[in-house]
Structures are given as C-alpha cells and as structure tokens.
A = this chain, B = another copy of it.
Amino acid sequence: MTETERVAVLAHEKFPHRSKTANGVLRYTDAEVVAVLDRDNPGERAADLLSAVQDAPVVAEFADAQAAADGEIDTLLIGIAPIGGGFDDSWRPDVRAAIEAGCDVVSGLHYFLAEDSEFSALAAEHGVELRDVRRPHDDLTVAEGRADEVAADVVLTVGTDCSVGKMTTTMELAAAAEAAGIDARVIPTGQTGIVIEGWGNPVDRVVSDFTAGSVEEMILEVGDDHDLLIVEGQGSIVHPAYSAVTCGILHGAMPDALVLCHAAGREAVHGYEETPLPPISEYVDLYESLARPVHETAVVAGSLNTRSVDDDEAAREAVAAFEREIDAPATDPIRFDAAEIVEVLQ
C-alpha cells in the first residue's frame, strides 16, 4: 500500500484480538486507515483498543466509513483471516458497497474475490480492482536448497503456535535493525506482510511441493542486495493443520538464526484446544534438529507477546521466564523494545 492510499479495514466481530491482518496494517502500513469496520464495536477508536497503531474510528458498516472519511476511500481491505480462509457472507453488503463506491478491494483470503461472480461483475461495472494477494504467481517451483548462497544473513521468526506474533516480530525487528543502521529487508510470507510490503509469495497458498521453493525464490531475488533478511514465519512446527507450511519455510529459508515467538499464557493450540502446546524447550530442540540436516541454525532470541499480561512488571517477569526456557535473550517488541534482539542478530 502507498502513503497516499486511504483504506477502510473490514474486521467484523474479530477486532481487535482476532484480526491479525487488520492489526498488522494498522501498525505498519504507510497508507492512511480511515476506518475499521467492526459491527461489534462501533463508536470505539482503534488506538484505544490496540497499542502502537495509527488511530482510526471503528464503524459498523461501509456507509459509516464513508461518512467518517468524507467519502474519500480508495481501498477496502479484508482485515481478518478466519481458519480455512473462507469468505463470510455477512461481509457481502460491505464489499458490495465498497465496489459500488469505486473502491478497490484487497483480500488475503483463500477465497478469491475475483472468482466471485457477483463481485467480479460489479467490479467490472464500476472499474475497480479486486486484488487477491494470496493468489500465487505461476512460475513457482521446487526449492534447490540454495537460499544459503545469498550475501545477507537470514533470520526466520518461528512460533509455538499461530497468532503468537511472528509477523509483528518480523516487522519490529526490521524497524529496529534499520534504526541500528543495518540494511534489513522483510521476506513476507503471508497476506498481512504482503499487503504491508507490497510484495511477496503467499506461502500458505502455494502448491505444497513448492512451499520451500516459494521462500527460496524470494531470498534469492533480494538476498544479495541487503545485509539482513528477516523471514516472516508461519504457523508452528507442531500445528495439527499448518505444520507443513512451517516446515517448508524452515527448510526453504535455510536461516542462519531463529527467533522463537510465543504468546504468554498460551497453553493449547489456538482453535485446537484439546492439543496442548509442548514445553517451550521442546520447540527449541525441534526447530534446531529439524533444520540441521538442511542448514544448521539455532534459536538465538525470543519474542514474547505479553498482551494478556496486565502490568509491565509481570510482563518483564514473563519475558525473563521465557528467556530461561529458550536459553537466549527475549523481549516483547511491542511492549518493550526489539533493539536488544537486533544486537544478538549482528
């Protein structure tokens, strides 16, 4: 997204705690977010519900977003990504209204808006674009095991689960690295990162045989032009549904270092509550031992999402406990600072 773009973000019934894409865009996009659509929280302000984001009014529907923005909206972004990536028909009136108002619609869903007959016809009629960022390009292929050939150091964020802060950590590390004078580049692998960076392969949507290859392709494309690549991880290596993507990224990226991301208090796999998370130290062993035969690497730092922890003192204690479990320095890059992790990466 560009600096001059005015964006409304749809996040019905999931904002602010289950709206990963919306939150990422509110935090990291250069574009102006004119409103967040959430029919559960009309009248609120984004910055009151989430820390470290650009502010925007929360409204119930697209017409209210238009009112809040004096009608000047360029883009409607689908800012939520339910398990499975389907389209919820309760969103249809807002998407319809946006297209009729001349807005492009950007979506990271598995369900492609451009293949929806109503939306595609309406978009043609109103001359707007339906941008499905999760549609992979056609030239992807299998990995050659060559990502370690690039000049840049490669860091990969890995997680104990989905939605623990890998994308956020990736973005915060990139910002902190730039602040420290390091020429860093994000390798986005999911819809939010791709929307923010305006570039990238949607690794969870590619043909499974090309999972590692789709990461390798990005690293080879830009890896000789920067000092540090920070690869956005996905899922978890022991996730009942998404571990394939995690494993493909781990072997395709051939990272020199791993940053393990976790959410304080998370005890079971998100959405699979009968599956408890194994001990944190087991994740360190698993990621390192699984990576080793392809490219040796180590968990050199941790990132703990302490959103569920009330005060800073308790959050610091949680970070300290996490550091002991991973035997490496850690932080909460949102509550505290990513700079100390960047020092470890240098």
Q: Which residues of A contact B (CB under 8 A)?
A: 83-85, 110, 141-145, 203-213, 237-248, 250-252, 269, 272, 274-278, 282, 285-286, 289-290, 292-294
Q: Which 4 A-B pairs have the closest CB atoms?
A: A244-B248, A145-B240, A211-B244, A247-B247
A242 and B209 in contact, given A84-B142, A278-B292 (Cβ under 8 angstroms): yes
- Give Cα A247–Cα B290 distance, bound, in whole angstroms: 11
Distance (Å) between the CB of A194 and the closest chain B CB?
Answer: 15
User: Judging by beta carbons under 8 Å apart, are A208 and B203 in contact?
Assistant: yes
User: Judging by beta carbons under 8 Å apart, are A145 and B272 in contact?
Assistant: yes
- Give Cα A208–Cα B140 distance, bound, in whole angstroms: 13
Residues of B with C-beta under 8 A to A278: 292-293
User: Judging by beta carbons under 8 Å apart, are B237 and A243 in contact?
Assistant: no
User: Judging by beta carbons under 8 Å apart, are A208 and B240 in contact?
Assistant: no
User: Judging by beta carbons under 8 Å apart, are A251 and B245 in contact?
Assistant: no
Distance (Å) between the CB of A136 and the closest chain B CB?
Answer: 9
- Which one of B110, B144, B241, B274 lies within 8 Å of A241 (CB-CB)? B144
Residues of B with C-beta under 8 A to A141: 84
User: Judging by beta carbons under 8 Å apart, are A208 and B248 in contact?
Assistant: yes
User: Judging by beta carbons under 8 Å apart, are B292 and A289 in contact?
Assistant: no
For residue A212, which residue of chain B has the nearest CB?
B241
For residue A145, which residue of chain B has the nearest CB?
B240
- Give Cα A202–Cα B270 distance, bound, in whole angstroms: 28
- Give Cα A273–Cα B241 distance, bound, in whole angstroms: 31
User: Judging by beta carbons under 8 Å apart, are A212 and B244 in contact?
Assistant: yes
- Give Cα A251–Cα B205 distance, bound, in whole angstroms: 18
For residue A239, which residue of chain B has the nearest CB?
B251
Residues of B with C-beta under 8 A to A248: 208, 243-244, 247
User: Judging by beta carbons under 8 Å apart, are B242 and A142 in contact?
Assistant: yes
Distance (Å) between the CB of A277 and the closest chain B CB?
Answer: 7
Residues of B with C-beta under 8 A to A238: 251, 290, 292-294
User: Judging by beta carbons under 8 Å apart, are B142 and A241 in contact?
Assistant: yes
- Give Cα A218–Cα B144 distance, bound, in whole angstroms: 30
- Give Cα A206–Cα B213 distance, bound, in whole angstroms: 15
A247 and B243 in contact, given A142-B83, A286-B290, A293-B278 (Cβ under 8 angstroms): yes
- Give Cα A244–Cα B209 distance, bound, in whole angstroms: 7
For residue A146, which residue of chain B has the nearest CB?
B240
Residues of B with C-beta under 8 A to A145: 240-241, 269, 272, 274-275
- Which one of B209, B239, B247, B252 lies within 8 Å of A85 (CB-CB)? B209
For residue A211, which residue of chain B has the nearest CB?
B244
| Most B C-beta atoms less than 10 A away, residue of A144, A145, A244 | A244
User: Judging by beta carbons under 8 Å apart, are B204 and A208 in contact?
Assistant: yes
- Give Cα A110–Cα B209 distance, bound, in whole angstroms: 10
Known: A208-B245, A241-B251. 12 other contacts (CB 8 A): A142-B241, A143-B240, A144-B240, A144-B272, A205-B208, A207-B208, A208-B244, A208-B248, A209-B242, A243-B247, A247-B247, A275-B293
